[in-house]
């Protein structure tokens, strides 16, 4: 059995939805026994950064909660965290109610949300009430002015100071809008998807991270930088950890893919924001990930249908930006870090279970196998039959076409109920998902 600090043999007793005991246990009369001999036992994993059942720009996302949660459970992910973006004329609480209603009864795994208020100033009384209900993570952007999501640094400072006093956490998408605006894009060739990487250079992320790090230090706000795609950005965060409450994530596509994917007639399929980076940056990020630079891994799953992705293939500016990834998170993290770099499973537990649960404020109820925790348990074998990596069941382009894994998910339990077996969801699995903030 693996925890974030190591592994060892133990028995786990589950009573109802909860882990009751861990240790050398004798079976009680009438108990059902799952024999984990020869298997690795991990807590259920969490993807804290998914975009599902939403509209971005003119396009509906390819995945709803049903397909997103099914691919998650098959791959050992027992909870997903999506996003609530406040719409014009809508209160933040109403936006949350809208999104929760769409997930309830559709998600086969547990779920929760990060909140993005777009009205200014924020309704701080409402924010406080939502934090009290368990929604304590908020997300802002230093770009996307045209989409109505942009926050300048003075606004960030005010928000961070207020959230620090409320004990909440701010997630930040870091691309400096001034740097982006200064990039000369008039001569870029619209059919060449590589233009997207030119238009959103590494320097924009690095500049925004520097500003956000300074604000985190000044305000004391717990701050999390999402989808770090640059080595210099990751290094700046690492250097500041001792001075402020700072964490960060990266996504598998920044560790495994580079901007050579953007070349050629199918390059538009790999458009995402921030963009894929040059091979040298990717290699340095991979090495940094193996050295522990990232607190957690998350997918930034944002899958568009093949129809929508293909519709504007001749103009990279109009192609919807986002990649599928939920189903690939656990297998590819295993292949890269455990098989590729020789790290123990405890490192996966820390970055795919324990630290994600801490980010969401639900540790130790989630993210660990311990008495009192939810019985989210994964039994796996690292040397199973080789199978293709599948990122999504929705009708979207596969991000990791040709990638395979030998990670064999034998049993997945969500709050004590087996929901997947042998890499397949079980009948009735779709009835089990609930909102983490409701407990």
What's the mean pLDDT when you consider all of the chain? 96
How much is the average pLDDT of 114-132?
Answer: 97
Whether 275 contacts 180, CB under 8 Å: no
Q: Is the pLDDT of residue 41 over 60?
A: yes
Dist CA 196 CA 277 (whole Å): 11
Whether 310 contacts 316, CB under 8 Å: no
Q: What b/e readout covers 130-158, taking b as 16+ CB neighbours within 10 angstroms?
A: bbeebbbbbbbbbbeeeeebebebeebbb
Q: Give the per-residue pLDDT at 7.
A: 87
∠ CA 299-305-311, rounded to 5°: 125
pLDDT, one tens digit per residue, over 186-214 is: 889 999 999 999 999 999 999 999 999 99
pLDDT, one tens digit per residue, over 401-419 is: 999 999 999 999 999 999 9
Structural domain boundaries in the chain: 12-23+41-438
Burial of 367 (0-12, 13-18, 19+ CB in 10 A): buried
* Global pTM value: 0.97
Q: Token pair for residue 383?
A: 């040397």
pLDDT, one tens digit per residue, over 213-270 is: 999 999 999 999 999 999 999 999 999 999 999 999 999 999 999 999 999 999 999 9
Q: Is the pLDDT of residue 138 over 90?
A: yes
The residues pairing with 116 across neighbouring beta strands, listed in sequence order, are 85
Whether 344 contacts 351, CB under 8 Å: no
Q: Does domain 12-23+41-438 have CATH number 3.20.20.140?
A: yes
Dist CA 183 CA 186 (whole Å): 9
| SS3 assignment, position 161 | helix
**Confidence class for position 430, pLDDT limits 50, 70, 90:** low
Q: Is the pLDDT of residue 439 over 90?
A: no
∠ CA 78-360-76, rounded to 5°: 15
pLDDT, one tens digit per residue, over 380-403 is: 999 999 999 999 999 999 999 999
Give, as one character, the DSSP assignment of residue 260.
G
How much is the average pLDDT of 5-16?
Answer: 93
Q: Token pair for residue 255?
A: 């560790």
How much is the average pLDDT of 119-131?
Answer: 97
pLDDT, one tens digit per residue, over 46-62 is: 999 999 999 998 999 99
């Amino acid at each position: 059995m693996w925890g974030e600090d190591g592994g060892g043999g133990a028995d786990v007793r589950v009573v109802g939805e909860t882990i009751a005991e861990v240790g050398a246990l004798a079976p009680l009369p009438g108990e059902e026994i799952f024999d984990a001999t020869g298997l690795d036992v991990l807590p259920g994993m969490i993807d804290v950064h998914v975009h599902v059942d939403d509209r971005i720009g003119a396009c509906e996302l390819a995945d709803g909660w049903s397909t997103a949660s099914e691919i998650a459970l098959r791959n050992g992910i027992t909870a997903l965290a999506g996003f609530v973006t406040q719409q014009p004329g809508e209160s933040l609480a109403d936006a949350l109610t809208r999104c929760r209603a769409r997930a309830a009864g559709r998600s086969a795994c547990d779920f929760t949300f990060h909140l993005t208020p777009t009205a200014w100033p924020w309704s701080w009384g409402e924010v406080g009430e939502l934090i009290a209900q368990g929604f304590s993570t908020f997300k802002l952007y230093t770009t996307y002015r045209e989409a109505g999501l942009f926050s300048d640094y003075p606004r960030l400072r005010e928000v961070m100071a207020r959230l620090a006093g409320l004990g909440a956490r701010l997630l930040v998408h870091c691309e400096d809008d001034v740097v982006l605006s200064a990039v000369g894009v008039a001569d870029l060739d619209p059919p060449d998807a590589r233009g997207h990487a030119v238009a959103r250079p590494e320097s924009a992320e690095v500049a925004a991270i520097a500003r956000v790090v300074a604000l985190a230090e000044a305000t004391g706000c717990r701050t999390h930088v999402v989808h770090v795609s640059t080595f210099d950005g990751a290094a700046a965060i690492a250097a500041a950890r001792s001075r402020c409450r700072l964490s960060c994530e990266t996504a598998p596509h920044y560790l495994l893919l580079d901007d050579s994917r953007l070349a050629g007639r199918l390059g538009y399929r790999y458009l995402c924001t921030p963009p894929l980076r040059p091979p040298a940056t990717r290699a340095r990020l991979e090495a940094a990930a193996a050295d522990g630079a990232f607190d957690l891994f998350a997918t930034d799953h944002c899958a568009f249908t093949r129809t929508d992705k293909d519709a504007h293939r001749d103009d990279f500016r109009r192609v919807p930006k986002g990649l599928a990834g939920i189903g690939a998170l656990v297998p590819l993290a295993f292949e890269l870090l455990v098989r590729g770099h020789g790290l123990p499973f405890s490192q996966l537990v820390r970055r795919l279970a324990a630290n994600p649960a801490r980010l969401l404020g639900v540790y130790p109820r989630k993210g660990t196998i311990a008495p009192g925790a939810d019985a989210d348990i994964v039994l796996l074998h690292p040397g199973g039959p080789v199978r293709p990596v599948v990122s999504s069941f929705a009708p979207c382009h596969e991000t990791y076409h040709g990638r395979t894994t030998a990670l064999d998910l034998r049993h997945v339990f969500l709050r004590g109920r087996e929901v997947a077996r042998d890499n397949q969801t079980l009948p009735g699995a779709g009835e089990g998902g609930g909102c983490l903030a409701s407990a």
